[in-house]
Chains A and B, each alone.
Chain A
């Protein structure tokens, strides 16, 4: 199981772009990278998933370099409501995959 490493916390201000990087040096060939957002006392919410290069959806972008040993979640123009914990998970997404959470990154967005 690929171990992930993220910064424990980050601070930003409203309107700024936030980039959270996750290291996963032993990612396997079949592994995907998935990011979740969690607010206090709520379950994790899926943000984005990718395998390589760049993926973009309505809330975020995910950048994955060619070696896939890291990935960066990019949140454009954050607002106060983006204050949450962000988790990076790595796994093959197949029938035997067990989502395992690391420590996550606590993002605080200031006015």
Chain B
């Protein structure tokens, strides 16, 4: 089946630094990828929709200047958490939608971000 990977799987960074998370579709092309954030014991919260070659669409309340999204190719989207703070510590999950007409959706394994 189709696979979506995320890198890194977990990262610890110091407050004030920036962290980049990669989301790759390994065996299919994805014009659209989604980024979610999940806090402990809570559901996935959609942060933004990432479209290849265009600006991401952010959900209400998500700061676009803090969570930079770049979808530079049909297999890669990146989420950069800029000037991270402890409250940004969370589980970040991406998903990718096939562009071949099936519109099937696949989720990545997630990235655990801890900001100290």
Contact = CB atoms under 8 A, between A and B. Distances in A.
Interface of A: 36, 41-46, 87, 93-95, 97-104
Nearest to A43: B107
A44 B34 CA distance: 13
B103 A99 contact: no
Which secondary structure dominates chain A's binding surface? loop
Given A98-B34, A98-B49, A99-B95, A44 B44 contact: yes
Given A42-B109, A95-B32, A99-B46, 17 more contacts: A42-B110, A43-B4, A43-B93, A43-B107, A43-B108, A44-B107, A87-B43, A94-B103, A97-B105, A98-B46, A98-B49, A99-B34, A99-B95, A101-B44, A101-B45, A101-B46, A104-B43
Contacts of A44: 44, 93, 107
22 contacts: A36-B107, A42-B109, A42-B110, A43-B4, A43-B6, A43-B93, A43-B107, A44-B44, A44-B107, A87-B43, A87-B44, A94-B103, A95-B32, A95-B103, A97-B103, A97-B105, A99-B46, A99-B105, A100-B46, A101-B46, A102-B43, A103-B43
Give the bracket for the number of chain B residues in contact with chain A.
20 to 34
A44 B93 CA distance: 9
A92 to B, nearest CB: 9
Interface string B86-108: 00000101010100000101111
Given A94-B103, A95-B103, A98-B34, A41 B112 contact: yes
B105 to A, nearest CB: 6
A15 to B, nearest CB: 28
A5 B112 CA distance: 28
A93 B103 contact: yes
